[in-house]
C-alpha cells in the first residue's frame, strides 16, 4: 500500500488527485491510501435530499463553507479542519469483491483505532459509519468504479462540530454527531489519531 499524506487541501484538489490515482490502480498499480484534512465544505452525496440543507446555499458560502455535489454514496455531510479524512483507493476485487464487506471493513479499521483511545466504536442499523454512544464519530461514503474504490471515511478528531447543526448530517435526524476529543474529554488531534488508523488499515487489509 502506498501512503500519501496530503495535509490540508481543498475538496476539489483532493478529488482530482483521487481520480488520477484511481486510473493508476485500475491499470494495475498498488492500492493507495490518501490521508488529508479538508477546507470547510459540505458534500452532497448521490442520495442527497435538499431538505437536509437547512439554509440556502449562499448562506453557507457566506460562512466560508463551500457546498459541492459529489458522486459518493450517502446524503450530506460536513468536512473541515480537525477531521481526518482517509480515501482508500483500493482494488476491492482483491479484498473480497463484495461491497457490503468493503463497507464493514472500513468501519472496522476505525473501530480498531478507537480502541487505542479506550473508546468503543459501534455500528448502527440506522446508517453506515462508526458511532459512539449513538452519536456518529465517523462517516463513510464511497464510489466503486471497475472494482476500485474512491472517496472514503471522515473521522471527527477535534473539529468544530457547529457546522453539523446547520444540516441534517447523513439525513439522520434521530442521532447526533460527536468527536473523539469530546468523548475523551481532551484534545485528540489528527496527528494523534493517524498512527492508530494506519494500524487499523494494516490489520484489516493486511497492508504494511
User: What does the pLDDT read at residue 208?
Assistant: 52
Which one, of 109, 122, 140, lies nearest residue 183 by Cα? Answer: 122
Condensed to tens digits (0 to 9), the pLDDT of residues 9-44 reads: 999 999 999 999 999 999 999 999 999 999 999 999
User: What does the pLDDT read at residue 139?
Assistant: 96
Give the residues across from 53 on adjacent strands: 167
Are 88 and 47 spatial neighbours (Cβ–Cβ below 8 Å)?
no
Q: Which domains does the chain have, with CATH numbers?
A: 2-202 (3.30.930.10)
- Locate the DSSP E strands across the chain: 2-9, 32-38, 41-44, 66-69, 76-79, 83-89, 122-124, 127-132, 135-145, 148-156
User: What does the pLDDT read at residue 125?
Assistant: 86
Which is the catalytic residue, given 170, 180, 188, 190? 170
- 157 is a catalytic site residue: no
Q: Cα separation of 140 and 138, whole Å?
A: 7
Cell of 160: 468544530
Condensed to tens digits (0 to 9), the pLDDT of residues 48-86 reads: 999 999 999 999 999 999 999 999 999 999 999 999 999
Condensed to tens digits (0 to 9), the pLDDT of residues 120-161 reads: 999 998 789 999 999 999 999 999 999 999 999 999 999 999
Amino acid at each position: 500500500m502506498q501512503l500519501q499524506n496530503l495535509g490540508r487541501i481543498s475538496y476539489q484538489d483532493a478529488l482530482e488527485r483521487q481520480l488520477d490515482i484511481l486510473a493508476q490502480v485500475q491499470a494495475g498499480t498498488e492500492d493507495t491510501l490518501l490521508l488529508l484534512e479538508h477546507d470547510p465544505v459540505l458534500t452532497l452525496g448521490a442520495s442527497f435530499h435538499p431538505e437536509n440543507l437547512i439554509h440556502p446555499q449562499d448562506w453557507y458560502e457566506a460562512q466560508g463553507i463551500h457546498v459541492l455535489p459529489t458522486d459518493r454514496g450517502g446524503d450530506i455531510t460536513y468536512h473541515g479542519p480537525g477531521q481526518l479524512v482517509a480515501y482508500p483507493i483500493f482494488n476491492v476485487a482483491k479484498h473480497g469483491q463484495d461491497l457490503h464487506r468493503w463497507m464493514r471493513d472500513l468501519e472496522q479499521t476505525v473501530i480498531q483505532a478507537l480502541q487505542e483511545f479506550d473508546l468503543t466504536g459501534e455500528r448502527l442499523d440506522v446508517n453506515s459509519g462508526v458511532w459512539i454512544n449513538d452519536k456518529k464519530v465517523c462517516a463513510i461514503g464511497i464510489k466503486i468504479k471497475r472494482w476500485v474504490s474512491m472517496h472514503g471515511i471522515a473521522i471527527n478528531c477535534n473539529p468544530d462540530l457547529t457546522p453539523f447543526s446547520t444540516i441534517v448530517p447523513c439525513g439522520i435526524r434521530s442521532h447526533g454527531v460527536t468527536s473523539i476529543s469530546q468523548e475523551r474529554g481532551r484534545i485528540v488531534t489528527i496527528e494523534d489519531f493517524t498512527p492508530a488508523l494506519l494500524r487499523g488499515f494494516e490489520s484489516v487489509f493486511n497492508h504494511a
